[in-house]
């Protein structure tokens, strides 16, 4: 595997969505190992296709069409499986996004409307394959609008909130700098400041970023 060509397993019970997503991933340079119409097929295939870099899962699949994708993610993490997981959803749900990221590991939550843009989908898969985290921009916007007054987010400046929201979308500091037309060193400084204000101790960069995104997600729950 390289960051540009991750090995992917895909599950969605809607055949048109499943085949459309598979085609977008292939065009974007991902290796789609197999596709499935339920979560049971993915579980059984993991060992056969080892190594697998990313699982792309619909949240709602047979038999109950409630949280099968999320339940699979949680079961895999409990079993020690470290492959990245990108969950696809019809709805912008901060609660589901928080549950997904709380499972640990490289995880993403993306709205199905977003996959009309193949580049966004492929970028999310690559970010997760590198160990990163991705949260849909619409979910991030809802969280920032609804953050509780007691949240540590209120201590952040407007620019720091912008940087945090872009971090949540899975952008690197370099990507944030390009988006905001800032120097990378300036973004590095904003990230350090917001981490300090949020009380996140120095640790591996990706781990701190995930903790910051979780803080953003939990703000909606308070």
Q: What CATH number should be reported for the domain holding residue 63?
A: 3.40.50.2300
pLDDT tens per residue across span 72-119: 999 999 999 999 999 999 988 888 888 888 888 899 999 998 888 789
Confirm whether 1 is domain-assigned.
Answer: no
120 contact partners, CB below 8 Å, separation of at least 6: 110, 114
Q: Given this model, what pLDDT does residue 186 score?
A: 94
pTM equals 0.78
Half-sphere exposure of 154 (CA within 13 A, CB side): 8
The predicted model gives 140-164 an average pLDDT of 75
**Quick check: 6 pLDDT over 90?**
yes
Q: Given this model, what pLDDT does residue 214 score?
A: 77
Domain count, the chain: 2
Confirm whether 169 is domain-assigned.
Answer: yes
At which of 96, 116, 135 does a domain end? 135
SS3 86: strand
Distances (CA, A) of 154 to 58, 135, 143, 148: 34, 20, 12, 8
């Amino acid at each position: 595997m390289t960051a540009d060509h991750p090995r992917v397993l895909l599950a969605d019970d809607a055949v048109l969505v499943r085949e459309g997503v598979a085609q977008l991933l292939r065009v974007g340079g991902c290796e789609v190992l197999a596709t499935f119409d339920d979560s049971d097929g993915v579980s059984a295939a993991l060992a056969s296709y080892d190594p697998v870099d990313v699982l792309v899962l619909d949240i709602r699949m047979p038999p109950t069409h409630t949280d099968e994708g999320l339940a699979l993610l949680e079961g895999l993490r409990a079993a020690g499986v470290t492959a990245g997981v990108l969950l696809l959803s019809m709805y912008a749900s901060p609660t589901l996004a928080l549950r997904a990221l709380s499972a640990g590991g490289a995880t993403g939550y993306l709205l199905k409307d977003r996959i009309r843009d193949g580049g966004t989908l492929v970028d999310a898969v690559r970010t997760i394959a590198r160990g990163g985290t991705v949260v849909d921009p619409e979910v991030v916007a809802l969280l920032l609008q609804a953050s509780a007054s007691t949240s540590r987010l209120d201590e952040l400046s407007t620019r720091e909130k912008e940087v945090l929201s872009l971090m949540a979308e899975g952008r690197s500091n370099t990507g944030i700098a390009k988006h905001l037309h800032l120097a990378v060193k300036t973004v590095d400084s904003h990230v350090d400041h917001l981490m300090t204000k949020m009380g996140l101790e120095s640790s591996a960069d990706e781990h701190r970023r995930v903790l910051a995104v979780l803080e953003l997600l939990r703000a909606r729950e308070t």
